[in-house]
């Protein structure tokens, strides 16, 4: 007879993901044991293993869930009917708002993905590529120099992600600058800078 799931299974799983993400981010993935995670989550080791067989599957789930939330947050903005500048602003705002309360997950995506073997992180890489593609298309639409096939779309898009992704290191909620305000500033910097660059890369 198949074992039925407890009514609070999903809630406990989400709690495990959130608490484990915080522990991995603070202590380091390689320095955190399943026994420590069980204690942090308030579970027995046996119960934690009921949800996750090892740290690897737990890290995969944390990063995958985080990226899925990011993609969901920006897809509706990308599909909305609006001018290119407003679309790019909307995407940056949506991404930064999705980062709120997700610093640990974001840090793991950036710093700990290398702990996963290549074959185990292909789905994660595909989610990252999907996210980048959404922004690359929006960036290309803001400047005629970024026509189809422009060699500058990728470096400009990745520079945009650099400004957005590393803001978790210094951004303080409740300060003079809101997440939306910083998103607008990033877009302004990007567009002002891109107006003066050439449409091709020197060979």
Determine the Cα–Cα distance for residues 125 and 93; give it in Å rounded to an integer: 23
pLDDT score of 78 more than 60: yes
Residue pair 58/37 in contact by the 8 Å Cβ criterion: yes
Q: Is the dihedral of CA 59, 69, 162, 97 positive or negative?
A: negative
Q: What are phi and psi of 84, to 5 degrees?
A: -55, -40
Determine the Cα–Cα distance for residues 138 and 151; give it in Å rounded to an integer: 15
The CATH number of domain 56-194 is 1.10.357.10: yes
Mean pLDDT (whole number) for 162-181? 90
Determine the Cα–Cα distance for residues 117 and 125; give it in Å rounded to an integer: 12
Residue pair 113/121 in contact by the 8 Å Cβ criterion: yes
pLDDT band for 128, please (50, 70, 90 cuts).
Answer: very high
Determine the Cα–Cα distance for residues 134 and 71; give it in Å rounded to an integer: 9
Determine the Cα–Cα distance for residues 62 and 14; give it in Å rounded to an integer: 9
Residue pair 159/189 in contact by the 8 Å Cβ criterion: no
pTM over 0.85: yes
CA distances from 179 to 15, 161, 191 (A): 26, 14, 18
CA distances from 48 to 5, 9, 51, 122, 200 (A): 14, 12, 5, 25, 53
Mean pLDDT (whole number) for 180-203? 76
Looking at the chain, the whole-number percentage of residues with pLDDT higher than 70 is 91
């Amino acid at each position: 007879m198949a074992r039925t799931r407890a009514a609070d299974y999903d809630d406990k799983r989400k709690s495990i993901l959130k608490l484990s993400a915080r522990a991995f981010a603070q202590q380091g993935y390689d320095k955190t044991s399943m026994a420590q995670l069980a204690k942090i989550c308030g579970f027995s080791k046996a119960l934690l293993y009921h949800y996750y067989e090892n740290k690897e599957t737990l890290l995969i789930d944390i990063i995958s869930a985080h990226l899925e939330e990011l993609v969901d947050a920006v897809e509706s903005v990308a599909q909305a009917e609006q001018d290119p500048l407003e679309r790019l602003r909307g995407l940056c705002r949506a991404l930064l708002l999705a980062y709120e309360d997700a610093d640990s997950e974001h840090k793991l995506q950036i710093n700990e993905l290398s702990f996963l073997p290549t074959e185990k992180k292909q789905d994660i890489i595909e989610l990252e590529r999907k996210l980048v593609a959404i922004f690359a298309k929006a960036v290309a639409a803001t400047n005629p120099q970024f026509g189809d096939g422009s060699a500058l779309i990728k470096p400009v898009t990745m520079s945009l992600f650099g400004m957005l992704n590393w803001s978790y290191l210094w951004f303080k909620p409740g300060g003079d600058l809101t997440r939306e305000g910083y998103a607008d500033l990033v877009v302004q910097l990007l567009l002002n800078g891109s107006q003066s660059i050439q449409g091709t890369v020197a060979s």
